[in-house]
Amino acid sequence: MQFPASASQVAEAQAPPLILPGEHFTAALAFFALGATGLVAIAPELAVGAFFVPRVVAVVHLFTLGWIMLSIFGALCQFLPVAIGRGLRWPALAHVTFSLQILGAAGFVVGLAIGRSSSIVIGASALSAAFVLFALHLGVTLASVRERSVTWWALAGATVFLVVTPLYGLALQLNVIDGLGVHRFHVVAVHAHVAIVGIVLLVIVGVAHRLIPMFLLSHGANERPAWVAVALLFVGAGLLALPVGGLRVDVVGGVVAAAGVIAFVIQAIAFFRHRKRRALDPGMRLAAAGLLGLLAAVTIAPVAFSRGLGDIRLLTTYFIVLLGAITLFVAGHYYKIVPFLVWYHRFGPLVGVRKVPKVAELFSERAASVSGLALAIGYGGLALGTYLGSLAAVRAGAVSFVIGVLVEAIVIAGIARRRPL
């Protein structure tokens, strides 16, 4: 995708210092590595479908609160000027929300792992403050933009659920600590899906709508599915978040959200089909694997939730497939976003002055391919092993996943160290 000169000038003028997205991505990769290592430790629990035990929940939140959310916030810090023509209004506040998120995620996960309720409460409070502050910051930034593109509407919807999600997290935690009369499984399911659908997927749809065409050099694709996806995901998350209506409203919300996911995948397929760059690089192959995983999750969901706790391994498999799909999609974009950032900040100013490397030359494509293959194999092994109840398969999948994460972390670290000679 070629942006007009005015958009490029806006992006250049409002792009934040490298340290802002850089700190988010560095911390996210650390949580990614910790979460992957945790998968090996919880392999026995996954093999029997015990997704509700505290240390499994702790590992899940290493991925959701650490890896995924930090990656999303970091991407928004950098790409808002390109996506909506306006950068975050107060970059210093983004450092504050980053600090709160790091402290909150660490405290929350440690509290779960060691069973210390005070740490859980403090961590959850810091996370709630981070989410709400970032929502207000993003909302103020969006309010100053006149052009209301699909990306704008996707991010506007996400700001709503950045506030709603911590409220459900608080309700869940009160249920765990004080034993309130709320069905815990129901609250867990709602909390997870409001966060995933209302925040993660809405942001992914909005940002990917600009990034995927840019990375694929895709032109001419019909963009209606993206609008449909944003509307359906927002309505679906809203229905799931309603405190009234019971199971019937939840089912409708789930169906609407699933339709939103399908619309997003249809949009992504259109971008892939209209690409000028025919060969897919490792990052886009990994992102494509994530899209296939989302379709698999939508396929599994009706059966998994109709059986509920009666088929606990299938239910656990569903969550692995869903979170794993998002993880692969995000991991693939690291191979596109981080090299671009490093090149833009360190080599871009030298264009026309001296010879500079291309963005793709900042890292080894072979190493990225190895990482992607290990991640995909690990993802499949974790899901299949959990469904079959095979500890050996789950453990092998977890080990393969760890290898993929560590190789990616090494590659990204190498890119971050690249400087003009």
3-state secondary structure the chain: CCCCHHHHHHHHHHCCCCHHHHHHHHHHHHHHHHHHHHHHHCHHHHHCCCCCCHHHHHHHHHHHHHHHHHHHHHHHHHHHHHHHCCCCCCHHHHHHHHHHHHHHHHHHHHHHHHCCHHHHHHHHHHHHHHHHHHHHHHHHHHHCCCCCCHHHHHHHHHHHHHHHHHHHHHHHHHHHHHCCCCCHHHHHHHHHHHHHHHHHHHHHHHHHHHHHHHHHCECCCCCHHHHHHHHHHHHHHHHHHCCCCHHHHHHHHHHHHHHHHHHHHHHHHHHHHCECCCCCCHHHHHHHHHHHHHHHHHHHHHHHHHHHHHHHHHHHHHHHHHHHHHHHHHHHHHHHHHHHHHHHHHHHHHCCCCCCCCHHHHCCHHHHHHHHHHHHHHHHHHHHHHHHCCHHHHHHHHHHHHHHHHHHHHHHHHHHHCCCC
Q: What pLDDT band is residue 173 in, cutting at 50, 70 and 90? A: low
Is residue 3 over pLDDT 80?
Answer: no
- Comparing 13-27, 89-103, 167-181, the range with the smallest average pLDDT is 167-181
How far is CA 313 from its chain centroid?
Answer: 24
Q: Tell me what pLDDT residue 9 has.
A: 41
Q: Tell me what pLDDT residue 264 has.
A: 96
**What is the residue extent of each domain of the chain?**
1-147, 307-421
Is residue 324 over pLDDT 90?
Answer: yes
- Comparing 75-79, 126-130, 292-296, the range with the smallest average pLDDT is 75-79
Q: Tell me what pLDDT residue 350 has.
A: 86
Please state, in angstroms and as integers, the Cα–Cα distance from residue 2 to each residue in 5, 70, 215, 216, 343, following that order.
9, 28, 10, 11, 18
Rounded distance between C-alpha atoms, residue 317 and residue 382, angstroms: 8
* Closest to 56 (Cα-Cα) out of 363, 382, 396: 382
- Comparing 86-95, 232-241, 360-369, the range with the smallest average pLDDT is 86-95
**What is the percent of the chain with per-residue pLDDT over 90, rounded to a whole number?**
61
HSE on the CB side for 23, CA within 13 Å?
15
* Closest to 74 (Cα-Cα) out of 58, 88, 89: 88
Q: What pLDDT band is residue 175 in, cutting at 50, 70 and 90? A: low
Whether 137 contacts 88, CB under 8 Å: yes
Q: Tell me what pLDDT residue 51 has.
A: 83
Q: Tell me what pLDDT residue 404 has.
A: 97
Is residue 41 over pLDDT 80?
Answer: yes
Q: Tell me what pLDDT residue 8 has.
A: 42
Whether 104 contacts 134, CB under 8 Å: no
Is residue 33 over pLDDT 70?
Answer: yes
Is residue 248 over pLDDT 60?
Answer: yes
Average pLDDT rounded to a whole number, residues 37-46: 96
Is residue 203 over pLDDT 70?
Answer: yes
**pLDDT (tens digit, 9 = 90+) per residue, 312-321?**
999 999 999 9
The token pair at 17 is: 């210092």
Rounded distance between C-alpha atoms, residue 122 and residue 130, angstroms: 12
CA angle in degrees (0–180, nearest 5) for 128-133-134? 100
* Closest to 368 (Cα-Cα) out of 275, 269, 284: 284
Q: What pLDDT band is residue 204 in, cutting at 50, 70 and 90? A: very high
* Closest to 158 (Cα-Cα) out of 97, 201, 127: 201
* Closest to 292 (Cα-Cα) out of 268, 270, 316: 268
Is residue 157 over pLDDT 60?
Answer: yes
Is residue 415 over pLDDT 60?
Answer: yes
**pLDDT (tens digit, 9 = 90+) per residue, 87-118?**
888 888 999 999 999 999 999 999 998 888 88
Is residue 5 over pLDDT 60?
Answer: no
Q: What pLDDT band is residue 181 in, cutting at 50, 70 and 90? A: very low
**pLDDT (tens digit, 9 = 90+) per residue, 116-129?**
888 988 998 899 99
Is residue 241 over pLDDT 70?
Answer: yes
**What is the percent of the chain with per-residue pLDDT over 70, rounded to a whole number?**
91
Is residue 177 over pLDDT 60?
Answer: no
- Comparing 243-257, 279-293, 385-399, the range with the smallest average pLDDT is 243-257
HSE on the CB side for 107, CA within 13 Å?
18
- Comparing 9-18, 64-73, 269-278, 340-349, the range with the smallest average pLDDT is 9-18
- Mean pLDDT estimate for the chain: 88
* Closest to 230 (Cα-Cα) out of 259, 210, 189, 251: 259
Q: Tell me what pLDDT residue 302 has.
A: 93
**pLDDT (tens digit, 9 = 90+) per residue, 325-362?**
999 999 999 999 999 999 988 888 888 888 888 888 89
Q: What pLDDT band is residue 24 in, cutting at 50, 70 and 90? A: very high
Average pLDDT rounded to a whole number, residues 67-72: 95
Sequence length of the chain is 421
Average pLDDT rounded to a whole number, residues 367-384: 96
Amino acid letter, residue 206: G
The token pair at 299 is: 């396929």
